[in-house]
Amino acid sequence: MKLGVFDSGLGGLLITRSLREKLCDLDIIYFGDTLHIPYGNRSSKAIYEYSKRAIDFMFSQDCALIIIACNTVSASALRVLQQQYLPNSKYSDRRILGVVVPTLETAIDRGYKRLGVIATNYTIQSNIYEYELKKIDPDIKIFQEHTPLLVPLIENDGDQWLDSVLKHYLSPILDNNIECLILGCTHYPFLKDKIREIIGDDISLISQDEIIPLKLIDYLNNHKEISQKIGNNDTIEFLVSDITQGYLNASKRIYNSEINIKHVQFDANKNTYFRGVEYDTISKN
Ligand code: DGL
């Protein structure tokens, strides 16, 4: 069986790349719902429908465990997927994990008392980071800022505007004397260097591409019933629900090497994805 990595688009490639570095030989399927990105500006109903459809497809492709790399889905649909969809589906022995709680656990383990988080509109408005933090340690303070222009700029080659947009977004959060800044979106590890230049060296960065693989290693060690099912043949498949030259270019920029992306199709009558005629497409710049 496989480890699944799900994202609304291509940002999850950053976590996937570092998963491959740290858990080298695990068999992985990546699915990016490029047909519906961005999720971060959508309603919870739409996010749930899109992600349930994607998760259902990934389980049908033999994923034993799916990491939802997307913070927006982790903020909105994760609990319903885990508690309602999964037990009532034919995949009740499989597992789905999100990224918000492991990210907060890392910040807490590192002893930070004043956290900042930047993320999509949905993630910030859902208040998921504060909600989960209060359950773990109510004394820690968190300051949040929604940063909706960052994903479109990353996905559409808008590097020339990133510095000024980042300065604008980060300035209010930096007024709060934070000790660490959580990058609460799949795409933001791509901006680590630029963000570091703006925030200086005294504030730590928590970047999910660095911490989620470590958390996953812990999980797999503690859940042999899942880890034993996942193959170790060093295979990876990159699947997306829509493909354009722009997505191919973005995938290469984000993954930092050429990858072979396959387009899976959507059957509107059955409300499912299926592997019909597949385009094997190599991303090129
Ligand atoms: N994957 C989303 C997240 O991490 C960002 C892109 C989107 O808005 O769909 O929140």
Which CATH number covers residue 256?
3.40.50.1860
What average pLDDT score do residues 21-43 get? 93
* 34, 67, 204, 206 from 62: Cα distances, Å: 21, 14, 38, 31
Residue that terminates a domain, selected from 209, 227, 259: 209
CA 217, distance to chain mean position in Å, is 17
| C-alpha angle 97-147-205 in degrees, rounded to nearest 5 | 65
Counted domains in the chain: 2
Candidate from 69-73, 94-98, 151-155, 229-233 with smallest mean pLDDT:
151-155
What average pLDDT score do residues 221-242 get? 96
107, 29: one domain: no
Other Cβ atoms closer than 10 A to 165? 17
Contact 186 CB / ligand 1 (< 6 Å) = yes
Binned at pLDDT 50, 70 and 90, residue 42 comes out as very high
The residue that leads in pLDDT, 278 or 42, is 42
pLDDT (tens digit per residue) in 100-110:
999 999 999 99
62, 127: one domain: no
* 228 alpha carbon – ligand 1 mean position (Å): 30
106, 195: one domain: yes
Mutational pocket test of ligand 1: of 5, 13, 39, 247, the residue with most ligand atoms within 8 Å of the beta carbon? 39
Average pLDDT value over all residues in the chain: 94
Please tell me whether residue 265 adopts helix, strand or coil conformation: strand
Nearest-angstrom CA–CA distance, 20 and 231: 13
Give me the amino acid identity at 7: D
126, 94: one domain: no
Candidate from 63-72, 218-227, 257-266, 276-285 with smallest mean pLDDT:
276-285
State the pLDDT at residue 282.
Answer: 66
The residue that leads in pLDDT, 113 or 280, is 113
State the pLDDT at residue 275.
Answer: 87
Give me the amino acid identity at 51: S
Helix (H) or strand (E) run with residue 134 in it: helix 128-136
Contact 74 CB / ligand 1 (< 6 Å) = no
106, 181: one domain: yes
Binned at pLDDT 50, 70 and 90, residue 23 comes out as confident
Query: Which atom of ligand 1 has the smallest separation from the CA of 186?
Result: 4
Contact 39 CB / ligand 1 (< 6 Å) = yes
* 224 alpha carbon – ligand 1 mean position (Å): 30
204, 108: one domain: yes
164, 192: one domain: yes
Phi and psi dihedrals of 120, rounded to 5? -70, 170
Contact 120 CB / ligand 1 (< 6 Å) = yes
Its domain, for residue 175, covers: 100-209
Helix (H) or strand (E) run with residue 148 in it: none
Per-residue pLDDT at 257 exceeds 80: yes
77, 116: one domain: no
Looking only at the bridges linking them, the beta strands covering 63-68 and 95-97 are parallel
Mutational pocket test of ligand 1: of 33, 36, 37, the residue with most ligand atoms within 8 Å of the beta carbon? 37
Looking at the annotation, which residues are catalytic?
Answer: 70, 185
106, 204: one domain: yes
State the pLDDT at residue 253.
Answer: 87
Residue that terminates a domain, selected from 166, 182, 209: 209
Contacts of 185 (CB under 8 A, 6+ apart): 11, 40, 71, 72, 118, 119, 120, 123, 147, 150, 151
Nearest-angstrom CA–CA distance, 177 and 180: 9
State the pLDDT at residue 84.
Answer: 97
Tokens matching residue 57 = 């497809």
pLDDT (tens digit per residue) in 125-178:
999 999 999 999 999 999 999 999 999 998 888 999 999 999 999 999 999 999
Candidate from 179-188, 228-237, 251-260 with smallest mean pLDDT:
251-260
* Angle, helix 208-222 to helix 100-109, in steps of 10 degrees: 100
199, 217: one domain: no
Contact 70 CB / ligand 1 (< 6 Å) = yes
82, 106: one domain: no
Binned at pLDDT 50, 70 and 90, residue 285 comes out as very low
Residue that terminates a domain, selected from 165, 184, 209: 209
204, 216: one domain: no
Please name the residue whose Cα sits nearest to atom 1 of ligand 1.
70
Contact 151 CB / ligand 1 (< 6 Å) = yes
What average pLDDT score do residues 231-247 get? 93
What average pLDDT score do residues 256-266 get? 91
Percent of the chain with pLDDT over 70: 96
Per-residue pLDDT at 284 exceeds 60: no
